[in-house]
C-alpha cells in the first residue's frame, strides 16, 4: 500500500484497489466540503449573534419599561380583545371608533410617570388587532383623525430621555382581505355568512407592509418595533417576514425586533435567527435564563399587566401589589431579562389611579436601589432561600426579600469582598466569618447590624438590598 498526504485535513491510507481508492477519495472530499459548510454556517451564526448583541446592548442594560395599550377598545372598557370575545361585526364595533376621543391623553405626563417609576423605555400600541390606527396612516382611513397620538407619544418620551418603541399588530380584524371564517381569533370566525368568502392575502400583506413602512419612515428614531402575533400556520414567511424585516432595517438599522413574527411568545429564538432580537414571554416569568440553540444567552422581556387586562377594563380590580411587581422585576433581571409593565388608559386617556399609585411606589424603591437593576444580570450563584442575586461586573447585589432569621451567608466570599453596604442608604453593613452554628472557612455572614446572628427589622420589608463590592 502507498500513502498520500491530504493538506490541512487528514492523512488517508489509500488501498490498492482502484474502486476502493475512488470511494475513499470521494468520502474524503465529502468530509472536506462538509467541514467547510459547517464552518461557514458557524461563522454566519456567530456574526448574526454578535450583531444582535450589539443592537440590544442598551436594552439589556435598561431592564425596565412601560407598555401602553390604548385604542378604541378603551370605550367599552372590557379589554382589547372585546371585538373577538364578543364576536362583534365591523358595524357593531364602529360605534366605539366613532366615540373615541381621548381629550385627557397627556403623553408628557405619562412620560414623566414612567421616568418616576424608574423605567428606561416605553412601547405604545400604534395599532391593535382591531386594525384601528393611533397614527396618521396615509394608506388607511381607519384611524383617529383629530390627533396623531403616536407622534405625541414618541416626542414626549424622547424629550424625557427615554427609549421608545411601537407595538403593531400584524393581525387586522377590520380589513376585508384578512381571513374571517374559520380563523381561530377573528370575530366572524363562526359566522356562516363569511363561509367560502374570498380574501386576497397578497393585497392584505401589501397593505400591512405599507403601514409598517409608514411607522419606520414618517417618524424619528424608533428603538423597538413590537410585532404581534403569529399563530398556527400564520407565522414566518406567511407574513413575508424576511422582506418585512429587511425593509424595517433598511430605514431603521439599529431598531430591535421582538420574536413574534417567527412564532408565539413562548418561542426561543434559534441560533442566528434573523426575524427577531428578543423573546417575549407573556404574563409569566421563565424558570431559567433564555438561551439559543447553541446555549448562548439571548435577550428576553416579560410583558406583564398590572391587573389582568391589557386594555382598560373597568371590572378588573385584581391589581398586583408594588411589592409583587418589584419582586418580579428583580426575578427577571436575575435571569438576564427585562420587565415591560403595562398601563391601559381609559376612554378619555387617563391612567387608572391604582396604576399611578403602584408605579409611584415602585419608583420610590427604584430611586434607592436602581443600581441593582440597571446594567445588571444573572449572578453565577444558586438562588438563595431568602431572595435573589443580581450582578453588574464587580458588584454583587443580594436582594433580601423573604422573612429571615439572623444573617445571610454568602458562602465562599470571605476572601473576595472589598466592602458591603445597604444600597438604598450607603450605610455600611455588618459582616462576620465566625458563628457558633457555622464556623467553616468559606462562610461570610452579612446583616444590617452587629452581631450578625441576631434578627433585626429590615429597613425595607419589600426588598432590602446589600451591595457587595468584590475585590
**CATH code, 419:** 2.60.40.1180
C-alpha distance from residue 296 to each of 280, 285, 293, 330, 470 (Å): 17, 19, 7, 21, 26
Mean pLDDT of 318-342: 98
The Cα diameter of the chain in Å comes to: 91
Mean per-residue pLDDT of the chain: 91
Helix (H, G, I), strand (E, B) or coil at 408: strand
92: domain CATH number is 3.20.20.80
378: in domain: no
Domain co-membership, 107 together with 197: yes
Distance, in Å, from the CA atom of 235 to the CA atom of 428, rounded to the nearest integer, reads 54
48: in domain: no
Look at residues 402, 408, 421 and name the one whose alpha carbon lies nearest to residue 468.
Answer: 421
Domain co-membership, 453 together with 323: no
pLDDT higher than 70, residue 140: yes
Mean pLDDT of 127-153: 98
374: in domain: no
pLDDT higher than 70, residue 440: no
Say what percent of the chain tops pLDDT 90: 82
Per-residue pLDDT, 137: 98
Q: Which of 152-166, 315-329, 401-415 has the lowest mean pLDDT?
A: 401-415
Give the N- to C-terminal CA distance of the chain in Å, as an integer.
63
Per-residue pLDDT, 312: 98
Domain co-membership, 179 together with 220: yes
Domain co-membership, 451 together with 326: no
Mean pLDDT of 33-42: 47
Per-residue pLDDT, 7: 39
Per-residue pLDDT, 47: 87
Of 268 and 322, which is predicted with more confidence?
322
Quickly state the pLDDT bin for 399 (edges 50, 70, 90). very high
Helices (H) and strands (E) in the chain, counts: 10, 16
Give the domain range for residue 430. 387-470
Q: What is the reported pTM?
A: 0.90
Per-residue pLDDT, 12: 44
Mean pLDDT of 374-378: 98
Domain co-membership, 452 together with 348: no
Say what percent of the chain tops pLDDT 70: 87
- The answer to whether the bond into 451 is cis (omega within 30° of 0) is yes
Per-residue pLDDT, 439: 63
Domain co-membership, 212 together with 185: yes
Domain co-membership, 167 together with 233: yes
45: in domain: no
Domain co-membership, 397 together with 450: yes
46: in domain: no
Quickly state the pLDDT bin for 32 (edges 50, 70, 90). low
pLDDT higher than 50, residue 153: yes
381: in domain: no
Per-residue pLDDT, 462: 97
Q: 62 phi and psi, to 5 degrees?
A: -70, -50
Mean pLDDT of 440-447: 87
Instruction: Report the chain's C-alpha Rg in angstroms.
Output: 27
Among 317, 337, 369, identify where a domain stops: 369
CB 166 within 8 A of CB 217: no
375: in domain: no
Mean pLDDT of 435-464: 89
pLDDT higher than 70, residue 2: no
Domain co-membership, 321 together with 347: yes
Helix (H, G, I), strand (E, B) or coil at 263: coil
Domain co-membership, 289 together with 336: yes
Domain co-membership, 163 together with 274: yes
Per-residue pLDDT, 241: 96
pLDDT higher than 90, residue 448: yes
Mean pLDDT of 237-260: 96
Provide the number of structural domains found in the chain: 3
Helix (H, G, I), strand (E, B) or coil at 151: helix
Mean pLDDT of 304-333: 98
Quickly state the pLDDT bin for 6 (edges 50, 70, 90). very low
Domain co-membership, 62 together with 33: no
Return the number of other C-beta atoms located less than 10 Å from residue 244's C-beta. Answer: 22
Q: Which DSSP string do the residues of 201-256 spell out, in sequence order?
A: HHHHHHHHHHHHHHHHHSSS---EEEEE--BTTBSGGGGTHHHHHHHHHHH-TT-E
Among 336, 369, 402, identify where a domain stops: 369
C-alpha cell at 254: 439599529
Q: Which of 38-52, 333-347, 390-404 has the lowest mean pLDDT?
A: 38-52
CB 143 within 8 A of CB 214: no
Per-residue pLDDT, 377: 98
29: in domain: yes
Amino acid at each position: 500500500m502507498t500513502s498520500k498526504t491530504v493538506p490541512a485535513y487528514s492523512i488517508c491510507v489509500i488501498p490498492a484497489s482502484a474502486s476502493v481508492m475512488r470511494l475513499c477519495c470521494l468520502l474524503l472530499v465529502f468530509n472536506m466540503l462538509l467541514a467547510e459548510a459547517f464552518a461557514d454556517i458557524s461563522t454566519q451564526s456567530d456574526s448574526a449573534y454578535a450583531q444582535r448583541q450589539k443592537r440590544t446592548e442598551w436594552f439589556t442594560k435598561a431592564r425596565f419599561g412601560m407598555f401602553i395599550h390604548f385604542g378604541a377598545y378603551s370605550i367599552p372598557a372590557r379589554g382589547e380583545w372585546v371585538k373577538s370575545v364578543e364576536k362583534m361585526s365591523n358595524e357593531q364595533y364602529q360605534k366605539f371608533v366613532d366615540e373615541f376621543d381621548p381629550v385627557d391623553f397627556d403623553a408628557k405626563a405619562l412620560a414623566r410617570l414612567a421616568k418616576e417609576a424608574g423605567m428606561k423605555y416605553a412601547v405604545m400600541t400604534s395599532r391593535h388587532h382591531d386594525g384601528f390606527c393611533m397614527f396618521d396612516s396615509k394608506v388607511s382611513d381607519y384611524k383617529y383623525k383629530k390627533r396623531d397620538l403616536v407622534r405625541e407619544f414618541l416626542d414626549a418620551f424622547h424629550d424625557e430621555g427615554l427609549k421608545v418603541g411601537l407595538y403593531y399588530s400584524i393581525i387586522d380584524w377590520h380589513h376585508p382581505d384578512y381571513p374571517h371564517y374559520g380563523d381561530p381569533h377573528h370575530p366572524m370566525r363562526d359566522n356562516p355568512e363569511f363561509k367560502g368568502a374570498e380574501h386576497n392575502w397578497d393585497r392584505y400583506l401589501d397593505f400591512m407592509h405599507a403601514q409598517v413602512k409608514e411607522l419606520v419612515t414618517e417618524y424619528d428614531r424608533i428603538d423597538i418595533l413590537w410585532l404581534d402575533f403569529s399563530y398556527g400556520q400564520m407565522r414566518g414567511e406567511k407574513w413575508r417576514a424576511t422582506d418585512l424585516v429587511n425593509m424595517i432595517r433598511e430605514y431603521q438599522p439599529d431598531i430591535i425586533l421582538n420574536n413574534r413574527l417567527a412564532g408565539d411568545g413562548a418561542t426561543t429564538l434559534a441560533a442566528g435567527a434573523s426575524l427577531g432580537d428578543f423573546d417575549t414571554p407573556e404574563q409569566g416569568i421563565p424558570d431559567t435564563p433564555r438561551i439559543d440553540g447553541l446555549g448562548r444567552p439571548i435577550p428576553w422581556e416579560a410583558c406583564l399587566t398590572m391587573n389582568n387586562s391589557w386594555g382598560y377594563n373597568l371590572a378588573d380590580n385584581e391589581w398586583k401589589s408594588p411589592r409583587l411587581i418589584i419582586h418580579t422585576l428583580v426575578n427577571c433581571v436575575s435571569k438576564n431579562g427585562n420587565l415591560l409593565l403595562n398601563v391601559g388608559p381609559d376612554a378619555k386617556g387617563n391612567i387608572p389611579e391604582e396604576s399611578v399609585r403602584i408605579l409611584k411606589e415602585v419608583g420610590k424603591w427604584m430611586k434607592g436601589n436602581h443600581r441593582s437593576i440597571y446594567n445588571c444580570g444573572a449572578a453565577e450563584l444558586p438562588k438563595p432561600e431568602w431572595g435573589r442575586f443580581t450582578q453588574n461586573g464587580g458588584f454583587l447585589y443580594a436582594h433580601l426579600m423573604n422573612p429571615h432569621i439572623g444573617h445571610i451567608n454568602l458562602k465562599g466570599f470571605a476572601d473576595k469582598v472589598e466592602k458591603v453596604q445597604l444600597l438604598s442608604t450607603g450605610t455600611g453593613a455588618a459582616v462576620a466569618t465566625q458563628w457558633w452554628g457555622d464556623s467553616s472557612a468559606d462562610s461570610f455572614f452579612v446583616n444590617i447590624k452587629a452581631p450578625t446572628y441576631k434578627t433585626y427589622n429590615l429597613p425595607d420589608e419589600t426588598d432590602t438590598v446589600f451591595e457587595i463590592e468584590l475585590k
